[in-house]
Amino acid sequence: MVFSRNLSLLVTLLLLENTISISATVFTLQNSCSYTIWPGTLSGNGGAVLGDGGFPLPPGTSVQLSAPPGWSGRFWARTGCNFDGSGNGHCTTGDCGGLNCPGGGAPPVTLAEFTIGINSQQDFYDVSLVDGYNVGMGVRAFGGSGACQNAGCIAELNANCPAELQMMETGTVVACKSACEAFNTPEFCCTGDHSTPQTCSPTSYSEMFKSACPTAYSYAYDDASSTCTCTGSDYLIAFCPTGSS
């Protein structure tokens, strides 16, 4: 009887482990840049921390991270990083206070944002330029059902960034600020009298971002053409992707 009970418990645990494995969402982060990046991850609502919050990713390599149902959070690339053996250091773009990010990436930074569904509910995801741009990024869904659109910004915006939005480092444009960060006014930040979709309209700067990257968020209320949905999918997040996003 003891053997039977133990066998039953083992089978139950194996089935539970298999169920958890099947239901997990797998994110594959791929570095297609010609240089090392340090992806940062931030989980919302006290969710599981993926990849210890941040790690180096050499060019031409990839890593897979698993997220449980209901997970929400964001991914971004950090560039120009230097860390000591304890993980202390600084990044030129996307800095978050250490190797294993205790917080979000400092703008300007390109973001991939996700909310994973529970019990066959839809996932929601987007690539956002609301906090500016530092590197190109593409998101592709695999194995899911529904619309499962591709999202991203594969254009090289730093090369065409207006002078007033440029973030410079040793004479080189390393990132392109959002108009909100550059000017900090309600019309560009969608705050104050401009805090609703009806009162915060696209600006010449957000339209520039949208023209270059039609499937990415260009400003706070750019929902209609920028929020993507899919059910039961895994996701490829490519940094510096080539071809169609």
Give the model confidence (pLDDT) of 160-215 as tens digits.
999 999 999 999 999 999 999 999 999 999 999 999 999 999 999 999 999 999 99
Which residues fall within 8 angstroms of residue 78, CB to CB, at 6 or more apart? 37, 38, 39, 40, 54, 91, 93, 94, 95, 96, 105
Residue-wise pLDDT tens digits, 115-154: 999 988 999 999 999 999 999 999 999 999 999 999 999 9
Beta bridge partners of 64: 28
In a domain? residue 17? no
DSSP letters along 6-54, please? HHHHHHHHHHHHHHHHHHSEEEEEEE-SSS-B--EEEESTT-PPGGGGB
The answer to the question of residue 115 being in a domain is yes
Sign of the Cα torsion 99, 105, 107, 111 reads: positive
Average pLDDT over residues 70-90: 97
For residue 1, being part of any structural domain is answered with no
Q: Is residue 215 part of a domain?
A: yes
Q: Strand order in 25-31's β-sheet?
A: 62-67, 25-31, 234-239, 137-142, 151-153
Instruction: Say which CATH number the domain at 47 has.
Output: 2.60.110.10
Q: How is residue 117 written in tokens? A: 């569904």
11, part of any domain? no
In a domain, 72, yes or no: yes
DSSP three-state, residue 194: helix
Distances, alpha carbon 29 to alpha carbons 2, 56, 104, 111, 194, in Å: 46, 11, 18, 13, 36
Please list, in sequence order, all residues whose beta carbon lies within 8 angstroms of the beta carbon of residue 15, skipping any fewer than 6 positions away.
none
Which of these, 104, 112, 103, lies nearest to 133 by C-alpha position?
Answer: 112
65 falls within a domain: yes
Res 22: pLDDT: 53
Any residues with CB less than 8 A from the CB of 111 and at least 6 apart, and which? Answer: 74, 75, 76, 105, 127, 128, 130, 131
pLDDT number for residue 45: 80
Mean pLDDT of the chain, nearest integer: 90
Question: Do the domain assignments include residue 200?
Answer: yes
Question: Structurally, how many domains does the chain consist of?
Answer: 1
Asked whether the predicted pLDDT for residue 20 surpasses 80, the reply is: no
| Residue-number span of the structural domain to which 92 is assigned | 26-239
Give 216's contacts (C-beta < 8 A, 6+ positions apart): 126, 127, 128, 129, 151, 152, 153, 209, 210, 226
